[in-house]
Amino acid sequence: MDREATGTGMITDPTAHPLARTFTSRLEHVFLVDNQQLWTVDRLLALAGDIDRNLPAAAGERVAVRARSAAFIVASLLALWKHRRHPLLLDPTVGAEAAVGGYVEEGMPTLVPAWEEPASAETAVDETRSGTFTASLPASDDTILAFLTSGSTGAPKIVAKRDFQLQRQFDVEPAWLGLSGPIHTLSLVPAHHILGYIYGINMPASTGGRVVFPTGSSPHAWIDAVRRERPNVVVGVPLHYRLIGQALAAPLPEAVYLSSGGMLPRSVAEIFHKRAGWPIVQVYGSTETAGIATRTGFGPWNPLPGIEWRVRGLDGRLVIRSAWQDPPSAWHHLDDLVETSEGGFALLGRSDSVVKVGGRRFSLAEIVQTAQSSPFVEQAHAVTYSRYGELAVALFVVRRQPTTLTPADIRSFMAEHLAPFKVPRTIRVLDELPSLGIGKVDDAALRLMADLASEGDPDA
C-alpha cells in the first residue's frame, strides 16, 4: 500500500497507512484483550495521551519502554510516533536492571506503567481515561521501534525497524499463510518481542482484527483461551507447543499455529499435531532479518515471496535479500549453514556450531540432530566447555515422558550413530532445558552445569 510522504517525512494521507484501519477509525472496536482487560481503540488512544503528557521534555528520538502490559506498549507506540520518536522495547522480566550495560543511554527516559511498580528513576504513567489524542502514523522511512535482543550470537544488541520493513512483510505474509480478512491473533509471545509485535500487533491492526494476550503461564489457561477466543492465528515458541501438547485432551479449533524463536523438535510437532488436530507452521527468521521462510513438517524451508537467497560458496552460509531489509538492496549474510533442497533450502546448523575437539572438526548440530532422532528424547542441546584446559562437548537432553533414560543410554545410542570422536564427553538428562526470554536455551547455564559435572566426576 503506497503512502505519499512530504520532505519532512510526515505522511500527507494518514488514512492510507495500513494501521489506520484500526487506530484512526472504529474507536469503539475492541482491538486488544490484555490480562483479561478489554481495550478499545478509544481507550488505547486515551492512554497514549497520558503517555504523551508524561513524556519528559528532554526525551530524544529513542525512548525506552519496559512493560508487561501489551496495551501500554501499543499506546507508547502511538504517543511516540506523534513526535517522530520510537520506543526501545525492553524485557520487563529482567526489571530495571535492563538499563545497565549501556543499552539505555544515560538520560534516556524509561516509560513504565504505574501499575507495574516502576523504579524510582523511571517515568511512571498511570491511566487516567481523560483527555483526547489523535493518532499520527509514521512515514515509510521512519524508525518506529527497536528491540533489545540476544541476537543469533547470544550477545545483546539493539535492532531498530523502519515502518516500510514491517509493512512490506505484511504485504506478502498473510496470503502466504492462507489468511484473509481481519486477523484475530492469540499471542503467547509478549508484545515486547518481535514475534509478539509482528503477529500480535501489526497484522491484526493492519487488517482491522484483534489480539488476545492470555493471562498466566499455564498451558491449560492457553488452551482455554484458544477455545474461547477461536483466533485464526496462534503464535508461540517451541516451549509453548511442547507444554500445550502435553496438556491437551481434545483437539483445538482450526487456526494457523505459528512457531518461531527456535527450532521446533520433531517430537513436539508430532505430539501437537496428533492431539490438536492441526500442524504447526514453522517460521524461520530473526529480529535482524524478520521473516525469511516457512515450512509445515520437516521438509525444506520455503522462502517467503520476495526473498532472494543463495548459498555462499565460500562456506555454505545463507545469504538473503528482501524488500523488508534495510537497505532493501543489500545482501544479508547469516550464520546458518544451508544446502539447496527441493526448491527451498535445508538448514544444516550454525556456522559457529562447527567445533574442533581433539584435532578433529565436526558440527554440534549433528550431535543434537542425532540425539533428537532417539525415540526417547524430546529435546537436546549441545555446548562446548573447557575440560582440563581443552575443548570438550556436553550434551543435555530432556526425555520423553513417561520413559526412563540415563546418560549411559544416551551415550550408547550416540556411539551407535556417530564416530567415536563425536560422542560428547559429558551427557546429562534434565527435566527441562534452562531458557532465556521466550524459550531460547541458556547456553551459559549449560556450560556452568558442564563445568560442575567435570569438576565433580572426572569421567562425567
Residue extents of the structural domains in the chain: 16-298, 358-456
User: What's the pLDDT at 102?
Assistant: 57
Residue 4 has pLDDT above 50, yes or no: no
Q: How confident is the model at residue 1 (pLDDT cuts 50, 70, 90)?
A: very low
pLDDT digits (tens, 9 = 90+) for 84-138: 999 999 988 776 655 545 567 777 899 999 999 888 889 999 999 888 899 999 9
CA distance 239 to 251: 19
Going by C-alpha positions, the residue among 206, 205, 208, 225 that lies closest to residue 216 is 225
Going by C-alpha positions, the residue among 291, 294, 290 that lies closest to residue 257 is 294
358-456: CATH architecture: 2-Layer Sandwich (3.30)
pLDDT digits (tens, 9 = 90+) for 334-380: 988 889 988 899 988 776 677 777 777 787 888 888 898 888 898 89
| DSSP secondary structure, 343-405, as one string | TEEEEEEEGGGEEEETTEEEEHHHHHHHHHTSTTEEEEEEEEEEETTEEEEEEEEEEPTT---
Q: How far is CA 69 from CA 44, 91, 310, in A?
A: 12, 11, 40
User: What's the pLDDT at 450?
Assistant: 86
User: What's the pLDDT at 352?
Assistant: 66
407-417 and 364-372 helices cross at what angle (nearest 10)? 110
Percent of the chain at pLDDT > 70 equals: 90
Q: How far is CA 280 from CA 3, 237, 343, 394, in A?
A: 35, 10, 21, 30
User: What's the pLDDT at 10?
Assistant: 39
Residue 65 CB neighbour total at 10 angstroms: 30
Mean residue pLDDT of the chain comes to 87
- Surface-to-core class of residue 358, CB atoms within 10 Å of its CB (0-12 exposed, 13-18 middle, 19+ buried): exposed
User: In degrees rounded to 5, what are phi and psi of residue 196?
Assistant: -65, -35
For the chain, the residue count is 460
Q: How confident is the model at residue 249 (pLDDT cuts 50, 70, 90)?
A: very high
Superfamily name with CATH number, domain 16-298: ANL, N-terminal domain (3.40.50.12780)
The answer to whether 79 and 144 have CB atoms below 8 angstroms apart is no
pLDDT digits (tens, 9 = 90+) for 284-315: 998 888 999 999 999 999 999 999 999 998 78
User: What's the pLDDT at 97?
Assistant: 59
Tell me if domain 16-298 and domain 358-456 are identical in fold.
no
Residue 73 has pLDDT above 70, yes or no: yes
Residue 457 has pLDDT above 80, yes or no: no
pTM exceeds cut of 0.95: no
Query: Which has the minimum average pLDDT: 45-49, 225-229, 265-269, 274-278?
Result: 265-269
Beta pairing class for 390-399 and 426-430: parallel
Q: Using the 8-state DSSP alphabet, how is residue 5 labeled?
A: B
Q: How many CA atoms lie within 13 A of 250 on its CB side?
A: 4
Residue 218 has pLDDT above 50, yes or no: yes
Residue 216 has pLDDT above 90, yes or no: no
Residue with the larger pLDDT of the pair 101 and 43: 43
Q: How far is CA 105 from CA 63, 79, 408, in A?
A: 10, 21, 50
Q: What is the mean predicted confidence (pLDDT) over 30-56?
A: 95
pLDDT digits (tens, 9 = 90+) for 281-290: 999 998 888 9
